[in-house]
A and B are shown apart, each in its own frame.
Chain A
Amino acid sequence: MYNFLTGPLAWFSFLVFFIGILIRSILYIKGLDSNLDRVTYKVNTSFGIKEAVRSIFYWLLPFATRGWRTQPLMTALFFIFHIGLLASTLFLKAHNMILQERWGFSIITIPDVVSDYLTIAVLAAALVLIIRRMALAQVRILTKPSDYLILLISIAPFLTGFLAFHQFGNYPFWMITHIISGELLLVVIPFTKLSHCFLFFFSRGQLGMDYGIKRGGMKRRKAMAW
C-alpha cells in the first residue's frame, strides 16, 4: 500500500499536476486575442510586461496594494494561509529528506517547530476563512458548496500531516491519509479554481498588460498605484 502510494501513484499525481499546469498555461496564452481582448499584446509589449510585473509584484506583497490595505483582516488571513501553506510544505525537513533520498538533492529547510506553527497557522486561517465565508453576506452570496470542498481538499494534507507528525493515535493511518490527500490536491489543482496557483500570474499579468499597453500605460505620468 505504502509503496504503491509513494511509487506509481505519486508519479501519476505529479505528472498530472505538472502536465496539467503546462497545458492550461499554454491554452491560456494561446487563447489571448489582441482583437477580442482589445490589447495589442505584440505591439508596445515592453510597456505591457513592465506593468504586468509591477502588478504581480505589488499583489504578492502584503499591504502593498490599495486593495490589500482596505481589507486588513482578509489580507492577514490571505498571506498567513498562503505563506504558511507553501513554506510548511516546501521547506519541511521530512519532505526534503525524501527529496534527498530519491533525487539526491534538497532545498532549504526550516526547523520542525516552525513548520508546526506554520501548519497550525494554515489550519487556523482556513477556519477563519470558512467562518468569514459564512458570516459575511457579500461572501455568502457568492459561495457554492464546491468552495468549501476545495478548501477542505486544500487543508486535508496539512491536518493529516500534523496528526501524523505528532503521532496522534494511529500513525500509519494518518501517514497514509496524508499521502493520499496530498496526491489528491496535486491532481485537482489543474482542473479547479486551485489552478489559480499558477493562473494567478497570467490573469494578474494580463490586466497589468492591459493597463500598461492600452489603458493609459504610455501616458500615465505617475506610476500606477496598484
Chain B
Amino acid sequence: MSQNILCTQNPVNDKEALDALLKDKRGQQYYDEMTRLEVDTAALSKSLNDTCHSRIRTWLELCAHCGMCADACAFYLSNEKDPKQVPSYKIQSTLGEIVRRKGNVDNALMRYAMDVAWGKCTCCNRCGLYCPFGIDMGVMMSYLRGLLFSQGFVPWEMKIGSGMHRIFRAQMDVTVEDWVETCEWMEEEWEDDWPGLKIPVDKENADIMYTVNAREPKHYPEDIAEAAVLFSIAGENWTVPGEGWEETSLAMFAGDWEGSQLQAQSVYDAMDRLKPKRMIVTECGHAYRATVIEGPYWTGQKSGKTPIETLHYVEWVAEALRTGKLKIDPAKKIKEPVTLHDSCNYVRNGGLSQCGREIMSYIAEDFREMTPNGDHNFCCGGGGGMNGIGKYREERNTGQKVKRDQILATGAKLVITPCHNCWDAIRDLEEVYKIGIRWSFLKPLLLDMVIVPEHLKPKEE
C-alpha cells in the first residue's frame, strides 16, 4: 500500500485535510506522491461498467480517425498543429485506452490522462461541432476527469477547489458570514455616491435572486456593488441569498460530481427558501454551465431545468436595455472599436450568443466581431479550470495564441469579456503577449454610460 498523505483517492471533506494541501507549496509533495498513487483497477472497471454506456462507447468506437476535429481545437492550432493535440488523439489515447483495457491501467497512464484532461483541453466542446458523427470530445474529457478524480489523479488546485466546495459551498474559503459582511461593506462604501443603495440579503418573494462567483466577495467586491447599482437603476426588486449565493463549481472542473451536486443544490435550496421569481447569474460562464445547464442533472431535477427560471447576466442586460429599464446615454456609448469574447459555457453550450450582440447594438458604435464567433467561437484558452492550474500554466499561455490572433484581427483594443475565467485569461494574454488591449466586464462599462434617475444621484451639499 502506498503511504500517501496528500495525494489519495479520498476527496477533501474537512478543514484539516484542506489546510494540509494548502500548505504544500505548488503541490510539490502532492505531485510527488501522485507518482506512487495506486490505481484501484477493480473500482475503475466497475465505474466503467456502471457509467460508460452507449453514447460514449459508440463515440469511441465510431471515430473514423479522419482528423477533421484537428482544426476545431484552439490548442491544436496554437501549438503549431502538434498532432498530439488532435482532439481525437487526446481522447483515444486516454479514455479510449482506459475503456479498451477495461480499467486495467497503470499509474503512468493515469498521470498522462491527467496531463491531457486538464492541460490540453478546456472542455469548450468546439470539436463536437466539427465531427461529422457529432463526437463531442469535450463531453468525454469531462467524463474522463470524473474517472481520474475518483482515483485521485487530479491537479492539486482542482483537488483543493473541490474541497472548498465540499466544506464552504464556495470555490474559496468564503463563509456565509464573510459574504453577508461583504455585501454590507459594499453598501456602506458606495452609499456616498449612490444614496440609499441596498444589497438586500435573504429577501423573500423578490423578482430576482442574484448569485455570484466567490471571487467577487473575495477579490472584486466592487462587482457586487456595481450589480446593485444597475439593479437599482433598473428598478428591480432583487435580493441575494445569505446561503446558496455561490454559483461557480471548481468541483465540476475537477470531475467531482458529488461536490458539484452539493454546490448546485445549495443554490436550489436558496430558491426554495426565498421563492424568487427568477434567478440571475453574474458574469461568469462556468457558473452558468454548472448551476443552470448541468446542475439540474446532478441534483435529479426531472425537467432538466433549474427549479425556477434562470438567466445569465447578459440575458438580463439585453432584456433591461430592450425594455428600457436601463437607458444608455448616446453621448457615452463606446466610440472606439470594441470586440466581444463569447464564453463557450453560456454561448456554444448555453445558446446565448444573440444576447451579446443585442447588448453591443445598444452600447457600442464600432462593434467588431471576431471570426469565427457565437456558437463557433474559440476558447480563450483558460476555460475548464486551466486558468487556475500552475502545472499547466505554459500550456494555457500557448493555447491562447488563437484568441490573441482573433482579437488582433478585429483591430479593437477593448475586449468585452462577460465571464470571470475569460476575463482572467484575456488579462493574462495581455500580460504574456503584450498586444496593447484592455478588457472589461459589462458592469463597469454600463455604469459609465447608463442614464441615472434623479433619485439615485448624490444630493448636492
Interface status of A32 (Cβ within 8 A of chain B): yes
In B56-113, which residues have CB < 8 Å from any A CB?
57-59, 61-68, 70-72, 76, 81, 83-84, 86, 88-89, 92
Nearest A residue to B347 by beta-carbon distance? A216
Interface status of B131 (Cβ within 8 A of chain A): yes
Residue in contact with A43 in the complex, picked from B88, B131, B294, B302, CB distance below 8 Å = B302
Task: List the A side residues contacting B453 at CB < 8 Å.
Answer: none
- B83 & A207 in contact (Cβ 8 Å cutoff): no
| Nearest-Cβ distance from residue B48 to partner chain A, whole angstroms | 12
What 0/1 pattern do residues 49 to 76 of A give for CB contact below 8 A with B?
0000001000100000011001100100
Question: Which of A144, A196, A202, A215 is the most central at the interface, judged by chain B CB atoms within 10 Å of its CB?
Answer: A215
Nearest B residue to A151 by beta-carbon distance? B64
Nearest A residue to B355 by beta-carbon distance? A221
| Nearest-Cβ distance from residue B214 to partner chain A, whole angstroms | 24
- B304 & A43 in contact (Cβ 8 Å cutoff): yes
- B129 & A33 in contact (Cβ 8 Å cutoff): no
- Complex Cα–Cα for A81 and B349 (A): 33
Stretch of A118-126, A131-139, A164-172 at the chain-chain interface:
A131-139
- Complex Cα–Cα for A29 and B58 (A): 11
Tally of contact residues, A, Cβ under 8 A: 62
Task: List the B side residues contacting A91 at CB < 8 Å.
Answer: none
- B66 & A31 in contact (Cβ 8 Å cutoff): no
Nearest A residue to B61 by beta-carbon distance? A193
- Complex Cα–Cα for A38 and B142 (A): 12
Tally of contact residues, B, Cβ under 8 A: 55
Interface status of B376 (Cβ within 8 A of chain A): yes
- Complex Cα–Cα for A101 and B81 (A): 55
- B352 & A216 in contact (Cβ 8 Å cutoff): yes
Task: List the A side residues contacting B51 at CB < 8 Å.
Answer: 36
Interface status of B185 (Cβ within 8 A of chain A): no
Interface status of A109 (Cβ within 8 A of chain B): no
Q: A37-B55, A142-B86 given. 18 additional CB < 8 A pairs?
A: A31-B55, A36-B51, A67-B129, A67-B130, A67-B131, A67-B132, A70-B130, A71-B68, A141-B84, A142-B63, A142-B88, A195-B61, A203-B133, A207-B135, A214-B293, A216-B351, A219-B351, A224-B375
Q: Could you write out 9 A-B pairs with CB less than 8 Å apart?
A: A35-B297, A67-B68, A138-B76, A142-B89, A143-B65, A199-B62, A214-B293, A215-B350, A226-B129
A interface residues, Cβ below 8 angstroms from B: 27-40, 43-44, 55, 59, 66-67, 70-71, 74, 78, 133, 136-144, 147, 193, 195-196, 199-200, 202-208, 210-211, 213-222, 224-226
* A-B residue pairs, 6 tightest by C-beta: A216-B351, A31-B54, A207-B134, A40-B304, A220-B351, A139-B67
